[in-house]
Structure 1
Amino acid sequence: MQKNRALGSGFKGEKIVVIPRGMLHIQNNRALTHHLYITDIGYFPKAVSHYRKRPDGCPEYILIYCIEGKGGIKTGNRNHEMLPNSFFIIEREKAHTYFSHKTQPWTIYWVHFAGTSADHIYERFIGLNQGKPVSIPYQQNKISEFEYIMDTYKLGFTDQVFEYSSMLLHKLLGSFIYYSLKSNTRTESNNDDLVKDITEYLNEKIFESIRIEDIEKRFSRSSSTLFTLFKNKTGYSLIHFFNLIKIQKACELMNLTDLSIKEIGYKLDFRDPLYFSRVFKKYMGTSPSAYRKSL
């Protein structure tokens, strides 16, 4: 295997865009790009003897999308096999090696990205997939998105192009992370079903109060397990979500009925009108009376 065969080493049909390093500060300091931007992006078809070793890692995160052939990625003491229609994100500043298969060389699209949101995107990837390559259904539009981003840079390295490519990168990474959700184990699928059941249960009980004991009994799980799962899956605490849908229902009732604010609060099991008003304002940013007057 050729040592350290790197970017731009000459794969027939390759495409590479490297943002001039002197211009990266522009993206890092612009309101519409500092959160997420591209530093390099490319395409290597049938990359025979492709080999890259970075003992000190790379300043950016690297997404590698294998569409044909095979390859391998080593991060730390973990080895990952890359198969057709799989992707992986390499952590920034972490030692790594990646290489193409000797007899079935990979064809890959890849992108280096950075920005204030990059860490969060990587954390999302790790949290959903335990840091393993993700198999995804083949979709031509993913390839088209890579090609379109590379073509966009033909317009020049201008502020508008940097801003546009940042927005396109958000969409591209989102499409990969979305499919990473679908690659989880059956346990994850069961957890999704459980969260859906909890959500439906809360909506059924919207005109009532709920005790922790009720939830534990209904789903045969400890409250800590249920609360943690719900927060991880939805981003909301269970109590926050329950209050949120109650306030959404209150808004609906104000729009569609002549019930007084006190009656609406009581109907939603807020026995104290002042407490109802405080909760309503917390979620809606205005008092119930001001909200009704605005209708």
Structure 2
Amino acid sequence: MDRGDGFEGQRVAVVPRSVVESALGAPVTRRMMVTDAGWFPLADRHARRRASGARETIVIVCVAGSGWIETGGVAERLAAGDAAIIPHDVPHAYGAAPGDPWTIWWLHVVGTDVAELVSAAGVFPGRAKVTLRSPDPIVALLDEILLALSRDTTSTTLIAASGIAWRVMTELATDRRRPERGTPLQRAIRVLEERIDRRVSVPELSALVGLSPSHLSALFREATGGGVIAYHSILKMARARTLLDTTDLSIADVGRAVGMHDPFYFSRRFSRLHGVSPRSYRAMAKF
């Protein structure tokens, strides 16, 4: 017989539905509202089948064992390090694998921001699975939500849980786009970080990491939304802001530190991005 809960050592927090309805009419929580959260260890015979879907979007993160999920008539296996996102109102079923029951963290959310974040994670009926490169940060956030909602469901706690849930959803959306440790993309990024004080061309960088310039450029666009040179410029300007904020270096010396030896060129580039000159930026109150 399938079990919905009742697993030894489980932790569950359920927000009263009257509180949920009230929060969905309030600022912040109307955009992202946690309705339920939990942790099921070694959830033998755990299964759920919802022919009409659920009102909430469901997030499941498997940290041990294995299980399965079905959406859009397509079944997918979930193992440790996998997550699943089931959009609201999508018919679905899921459960622990016989003989190897999963341990899962799970979350139910509603709100106006949820659909966009689900879309950003690249899931849809028939493709609910998200293979995580780094599940630990997401699990830590889910634990934080569960701890908060287990204490109380005051408006302050609900707002805090909303913010954490937003981070969970953005982590799910961006985890797959991050470069894996040791990949050509990660090595390329490291080279750019180490060479902020000089110019690096795309052919030079692609030769260093063993890819064609077009392939490397495509990887950068997928991971950062822009090209290699644009990303290097972002790194340079971030370093420039830090130097302007934390040192007494002259504007010319700051420019040289980020590989721009013509102070007028550096000032133009800085002003184009920030809307103010380096000198004006340094004079701004920031704390």
TM-score by length of 1: 0.67
Deviation of the 1:73 alpha carbon:
1.5
Match of 1:78 among 74, 79, 83: 74
Please give the secondary structure, in 2, of the residue aligned with 1:58.
Answer: coil
Asked if 1 retains the 8 angstrom alpha-carbon contact of 2:61 and 2:81, the reply is yes
Deviation of the 1:111 alpha carbon:
1.7
Match of residue 113 from structure 1: 109
Corresponding letter in the other structure for 2:129: G
Rounded Cα–Cα distance in structure 2 between residues aligned with 1:248 and 1:279 = 12
Rounded Cα–Cα distance in structure 2 between residues aligned with 1:46 and 1:259 = 60
Rounded Cα–Cα distance in structure 1 between residues aligned with 2:256 and 2:248 = 11
Closer, same or farther: CA 213–24 of 1 in aligned 2, 3 Å: same
Match of residue 257 from structure 1: 249
Rounded Cα–Cα distance in structure 2 between residues aligned with 1:262 and 1:151 = 50
Match of residue 150 from structure 2: 151
Closer, same or farther: CA 33–103 of 1 in aligned 2, 3 Å: same
Rounded Cα–Cα distance in structure 2 between residues aligned with 1:15 and 1:234 = 37
Rounded Cα–Cα distance in structure 2 between residues aligned with 1:276 and 1:133 = 42
Match of residue 54 from structure 1: 50
Say whether 1:268 aligns with 2:266: no
Corresponding letter in the other structure for 1:24: V
Rounded Cα–Cα distance in structure 2 between residues aligned with 1:267 and 1:69 = 50
Rg larger for: 1
Rounded Cα–Cα distance in structure 2 between residues aligned with 1:204 and 1:266 = 8
Closer, same or farther: CA 201–167 of 1 in aligned 2, 3 Å: closer
Closer, same or farther: CA 261–204 of 1 in aligned 2, 3 Å: closer
Match of residue 38 from structure 1: 34
Closer, same or farther: CA 198–69 of 1 in aligned 2, 3 Å: closer
Q: Matched residues, percent identical?
A: 24
Match of residue 269 from structure 2: 279
Rounded Cα–Cα distance in structure 1 between residues aligned with 2:259 and 2:145 = 53
Rounded Cα–Cα distance in structure 1 between residues aligned with 2:156 and 2:85 = 27
Question: Which structure 1 residue ranges, 5 or more long, are not aligned?
Answer: none
Kindly report which structure 2 residues correspond to 1:121-160, keeping only aligned pairs within 5 A, or say none.
121-123=117-119, 125-126=121-122, 131-132=129-130, 145=144, 147-152=146-151, 155=152, 157-160=153-156
Say whether 1:237 aligns with 2:223: no
Please give the secondary structure, in 1, of the residue aligned with 2:162.
Answer: helix
Asked if 1 retains the 8 angstrom alpha-carbon contact of 2:40 and 2:104, the reply is yes
Match of residue 186 from structure 2: 195
Match of residue 214 from structure 2: 224
Asked if 1 retains the 8 angstrom alpha-carbon contact of 2:86 and 2:128, the reply is no
Deviation of the 1:62 alpha carbon:
1.2
Closer, same or farther: CA 13–165 of 1 in aligned 2, 3 Å: same
Deviation of the 1:281 alpha carbon:
1.9
Match of 2:59 among 63, 68, 84: 63
- Number of aligned positions between the proteins: 278
Asked if 2 retains the 8 angstrom alpha-carbon contact of 1:73 and 1:98, the reply is yes
Deviation of the 1:112 alpha carbon:
0.8
Rounded Cα–Cα distance in structure 2 between residues aligned with 1:96 and 1:115 = 20
Please give the secondary structure, in 2, of the residue aligned with 1:92.
Answer: coil
Please give the secondary structure, in 2, of the residue aligned with 1:160.
Answer: helix
Asked if 2 retains the 8 angstrom alpha-carbon contact of 1:206 and 1:242, the reply is no
Closer, same or farther: CA 263–124 of 1 in aligned 2, 3 Å: closer
Closer, same or farther: CA 44–289 of 1 in aligned 2, 3 Å: closer
Rounded Cα–Cα distance in structure 1 between residues aligned with 2:9 and 2:257 = 66
Rounded Cα–Cα distance in structure 2 between residues aligned with 1:283 and 1:189 = 30
Match of 2:197 among 193, 203, 206: 206
Aligned-pair RMSD on alpha carbons? Answer: 4.6
Match of residue 246 from structure 1: 236
Closer, same or farther: CA 91–224 of 1 in aligned 2, 3 Å: farther
Closer, same or farther: CA 224–55 of 1 in aligned 2, 3 Å: farther
Corresponding letter in the other structure for 1:61: T
